[in-house]
């Protein structure tokens, strides 16, 4: 059977902190590659082995403000 297993993995650029997601695909043959950050051109992830990553997408960062903690509210 030629089932391919795809999983989504998250990576963070060590240089600028941009978050990325990539689809990891399992292969029966070894692949190697790397992905460079679109912001700072640093290597976010390099891989080699029986898997490959594709579909890199920058993750929109969540709003930095989540509001105040809802402390003290009792239901």
Asked if 15 touches Zn ion (CB under 5 A), the answer is yes
| Cβ at position 75, least distance to Zn ion in Å | 42
Asked if 43 touches Zn ion (CB under 5 A), the answer is no
Asked if 46 touches Zn ion (CB under 5 A), the answer is no
Asked if 39 touches Zn ion (CB under 5 A), the answer is yes
Asked if 16 touches Zn ion (CB under 5 A), the answer is yes
20 vs 52 by CB, closer to Zn ion? 20
Which residues are CB-contacts of 27 (< 8 A; sequence separation ≥ 6)? 50, 51, 52
Q: Give the strand order in the sheet containing 6-12.
A: 6-12, 19-36, 43-58
- For residue 34, which of 50, 54, 18 has the smallest C-alpha distance? 54
| Cβ at position 21, least distance to Zn ion in Å | 14
């Amino acid at each position: 059977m030629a089932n391919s297993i795809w999983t989504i993995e998250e990576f963070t650029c060590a240089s600028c902190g941009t978050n990325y997601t990539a689809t990891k695909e399992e292969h029966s043959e070894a692949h190697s590659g790397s992905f460079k950050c679109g912001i700072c051109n640093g290597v976010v992830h390099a891989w080699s082995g029986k898997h490959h990553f594709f579909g890199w997408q920058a993750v929109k960062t969540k709003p930095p403000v989540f509001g105040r903690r809802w402390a003290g509210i009792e239901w």
